[in-house]
Chains A and B, each alone.
Chain A
Amino acid sequence: VLSAAFLLLTGVSAWSVSLAILLPLLLYAGVPATPVELTAAVVAALAAATGGGPTGEALVAVSSLLALAGSVSLARRLLLTAPILVLLLSGSMHMLPLVAAGAASATPGRPSRRWTMITAGAIACLALNGLPGVNREALPVTARCVARGTGAVWPDTITLDHSRPVLRLDFSAVAGSEVQMRVSAGGVRRHETVGLLELPGAAAALILPGDTILTFPAPDGAATLVLSMGWKPFNHPVLRFCGATAAGGPP
């Protein structure tokens, strides 16, 4: 009843369907029995409270895996792979090895073996697909823009990492004027490209580690600043947009 009401009120999405499966499994006997199940229920509650989105979906996956590792009932463990399967089928996360390991780990009776199999699945997932959930098509962050005289400034400093890899800058109101942008990149072990500034059309600028000042004519449309470097162990790539100015009107 709780799940049906939740689906009705929030609408059908990968997040709401997976939660609608997960919640009854966690709460079928009132208060969860073991500390692991209780923690999984708290994580599921947090997932429910997020109201959806990628964080909510990731929390459903974490809660399901926790419950899978800690639940004492075999039938429940098998059913607990379903919420992760829903997320996988919805295409929001590439984590087939983790789901396979999770499903396989449902059978052993010992929790330590289940933890080992889930860990192995996570390592396989990283090796084959990289970090789950990194989505370059995700909604970009948009930088705030303020008018200054006949030009404009983007005053905020915004940090991009794998959880938030794309920044959108709308230049249409100052098209043609000269833009000066400060970007800082770092967190990598080699001197290689960390990010890209993509302008409408085919133009792009590579951003290397260190401070970079980019000067270019404002395009008629939006540009994107992208953390282009993929996940690599022992690298923590970060791209920091440190503000931009578009001085004067179009020439």
Chain B
Amino acid sequence: MKRVSSGQWSGAIFHAAAAVVVFLAWRLLGMPFPATLGRLIPLELALTALIIGRRPVSVLSPLFLGCFLLSAIFWASGPGMLLVASVSGVLASFPGMLTAAQGRAGLFRALLPIAPLIILLTLFTGDEPHHATITEGFVAPGAGLFGNLTAQHGDPTEGTTHHQQLYPLLLVPGYPLGIPGVRLLNLLFAAGAAVLLARLMAGEGMEETFARRTALLGMLMVPGIGILGLVYPGWCAVMLLTAGVLIGSGERPWGKRLVWLFLVSFLLFMVKTRFAGLSIGLLAALSVTSRGWRRWSIPVAAVAGILFLLALDMTVLDGRLFMVRYGNALTFRYLFANIFRRFPSVALGMLSSMVDGESGLLWRAPWLLAALAGLPALWRKSRTLFVWLGLPAVSYLAMLFLWMPMDWASAPTPPGRLLLPAAPILMASFGFMLRERSVRILVWISLAVSAAYLAFPSLRFNFFDGTDSLMAALWGRFSNLVEWLPSQVRPRLLPYLGWTLWAVLLIRLCTFRRGRLLPAGLMATALGIGVMAAHPRTSWEAEDIPPDYRTFCVDYPEERDPADRMHWISTVQRMLLMNDPRDSVRLPIQAAEGDTVEVTVRFISIPDAGPVPGILLSCGAEAESLIIASVHFEKEVLQRRDSLITLPWTAGYFSEITEVFRLRAGTPPCTLTIMPLGVGPIQGPAQGIYLHRVEVVR
């Protein structure tokens, strides 16, 4: 990095001064959250001053400070400006952290400035309290330090957790300090993983400074930052994986490597069942890189080992390891159905993990464009890294998407959490691309997203409803942009195809003419997004209709947790329930008097102890109505499965109706009104119109 001053202590002096400037500016400008962000961002800068020591200041740090001051002046201009100012403030210490990440303990030291932001600001939610409660069970059962949570979605029975026990056991040393304690241990796991990854890359010929910087960036960018320091086993798995790769690809005798790899593979499985994918990949890498009888002995030994473990589990451990949770016919039926019947969903999940607007990685981690572009270079420069990090990534991802084709994003936990264990190979390929100047733009855009996640942790929690929290903070929840982004919850071919081809083009631009055209490609992306966002909406996902355009109506289901919708048959997205006679939607449309307006409405209509509901549309001059009931899926399922299944009498289990209405527009300004019919005070709880989507064509 370029230095603004080569003077000793200039880094420390600058960051200390910057802390004071940010602290005072926050108060002088009356910015919100003075007690949290107004203190934690200056603290981050002060801690950077502490860790940077005698090293000089980078040219980027004053630049980000200037950017903070300029955007802070405008913080009241729009809802997104506070976010921009906070991101600039957090980013101001990142160059210092990258400078400080040298030396033996550099990677541990570099995390110090952001530790308070992670530990104190991020909500203790998702799986975190569950892991911590299991930890508590080892030390002081029932003490209630973490809320004494018991049952969780995914548990096979009440009181039987679906989590493995080893990871919570590893957190025991942090227990006396409570939430900060268990989070601190996870920061250490991440730093440990980064140290091992840096050693691995340095061992393959990468310059040590670059290797450390790459490893630190791997922690600071999505998907790493999403759970950095949080009580999730992702970084622990990366640490074990890199340790396994270091051992497996090392110079030790083959027998010793095999024994150690079996141990690491077992530990990975014991940390979390899904990490068995990494175990398989590690053993496969050893098998591929071995010769003669050794190559074939590994799969045989692995199968024997698995059978031995299963036998041990059934006879001695009462199935606690595997059989109680997954050793049943339903599990295997589910897996086979995903492979043979639902493969399009599995493939869509794999594509969505990259381009989905809500959970896809490329939107929040554009550094992956360069990492994907760098894979051929990694194959040429270090076949060892390619094989040893690539095979575990492939087998892990195959297992993840076959096992969780719809909930690979694990919403509402941070995006990319489940994809992190597959990221080390991309970090390694990225390391070889980092020298290119144009690629650094991608780094700083990715770091800006990470800074947003650090300053406003709520932005990393999405609900699998088609709307990304970070995008909503910048564009608003009701922007037209939502219509143009790929979404696995609301799959449409054109956005998927368009953005996938565009991503491929950007990946190509990373290497074409040494990336000289990449900035132009990124600017074109921004302008394209701007054009999409600037246009008023003509199509509405019903739950996205803003309150200004509704009278009453309820978002259905009211809870945003995707677990409530995961098993729905007709659609898994939220809808707008109209079950009160006073409910209505009024959408403004551009039409002259007498114009014919074509409106396509998709909805579900459920009669429940009341008359068949209907829908009424009016555009000023005339009104049209349709009274119709959706078909309950139970009969269809019974015919297919030949077994008794009772499906709930709720919207997700009814067929969707699509109807096109042609209406004549009245006097401008024209408003399209949609109202329910056949709903009233005497009816069952499910009775009503569940509005899904409204498309207006003039």
Q: Residues of A at under 8 Å CB distance from B?
A: 2, 6, 9-11, 16, 23, 27, 30-31, 35-36, 38-39, 41-43, 45-46, 48-59, 61-62, 65-66, 69-70, 93, 98, 115, 118-119, 122, 125-126, 131-134, 142-147, 152, 161-164, 168, 170, 173, 187, 231-238
Contact = CB atoms under 8 A, between A and B. Distances in A.
Contacts of B535: 51
B481 A133 contact: no
Contacts, number: 197
Contacts of B33: 236
A164 B476 CA distance: 12
Closest 5 CB pairs of A and B: A51-B533, A133-B77, A55-B78, A54-B78, A45-B526
Contacts of A39: 63-64, 67
B530 A62 contact: no
Nearest to A230: B30
B531 A6 contact: yes
Contact of A234 (B27, B66, B480, B520): B27
A222 to B, nearest CB: 10
A55 B79 contact: yes
A236 to B, nearest CB: 5
Nearest to A133: B77
A232 B30 CA distance: 7
B552 A145 contact: yes
Contacts of A27: 523
Contacts of B29: 126, 131, 231, 233
B523 A234 contact: no
B441 interface: yes
A55 B60 CA distance: 24
19 contacts: A39-B64, A48-B530, A49-B533, A50-B80, A51-B530, A51-B534, A51-B535, A54-B78, A55-B84, A62-B71, A132-B74, A142-B546, A146-B554, A147-B580, A162-B76, A163-B77, A231-B76, A232-B30, A234-B27
Nearest to A118: B70
A176 to B, nearest CB: 14
A233 B475 contact: no
A173 B66 contact: no
Contact of A119 (B69, B84, B529, B580): B69
A9 B532 CA distance: 9
B568 interface: no
Contacts of A168: 548
B530 A50 contact: yes
B554 A233 contact: no
Contact of A10 (B534, B547, B553, B554): B534
B582 A133 contact: no
Nearest to A135: B77
Interface in B255-286: none
Which of A10, A30, A53 is most buried by chain B, counting CB atoms within 10 A of its CB? Answer: A53
Contact of B30 (A46, A93, A152, A235): A235
B547 A2 contact: no
Contacts of A61: 74
A34 to B, nearest CB: 9
A93 B77 CA distance: 8
Interface string B144-183: 0000000000000000000000000000000000000000
Contacts of B63: 35-36, 39, 70
B574 to A, nearest CB: 14
Contact of A122 (B73, B76, B475, B551): B73
Interface string B527-563: 1011111110000000000111011111000000000
Contacts of B612: none
Contacts of B580: 147
Contacts of A118: 70
Contacts of A93: 74, 77
Given A31-B519, A50-B80, A142-B546, A132 B73 contact: yes
B28 A2 contact: no
Nearest to B58: A35
Which of A51, A143, A231 is most buried by chain B, counting CB atoms within 10 A of its CB? Answer: A51
B199 interface: no
Given A10-B534, A69-B66, A162-B30, A55 B73 contact: no
Contact of B547 (A57, A142, A187): A142
Given A27-B523, A66-B70, A142-B548, A58 B28 contact: no
B552 A58 contact: no
Given A131-B29, A163-B78, A231-B29, 10 more contacts: A31-B438, A36-B63, A36-B66, A45-B527, A52-B530, A131-B30, A142-B548, A144-B547, A162-B76, A236-B30
B31 interface: yes
Contact of B81 (A45, A69, A163): A163
B479 interface: yes
Contacts of B299: none
Contacts of A46: 84, 474, 526
A62 B30 contact: no
A9 B531 contact: yes
B81 A55 contact: yes
B34 interface: yes
B75 interface: yes
A238 B70 CA distance: 22
Contacts of B69: 119, 122
B591 interface: no
A131 B526 contact: no
B407 interface: no
B526 A236 contact: no
Contacts of A236: 27, 30-34
Contacts of B59: 35
B522 interface: yes
Contacts of A122: 69-70, 73
B444 interface: yes
B435 interface: no
Contact of B479 (A51, A132, A234): A51
B30 A147 contact: no
Given A10-B534, A11-B534, A55 B80 contact: yes
Nearest to B33: A236
Contacts of A162: 30, 75-76
Contacts of B64: 39
B527 to A, nearest CB: 5
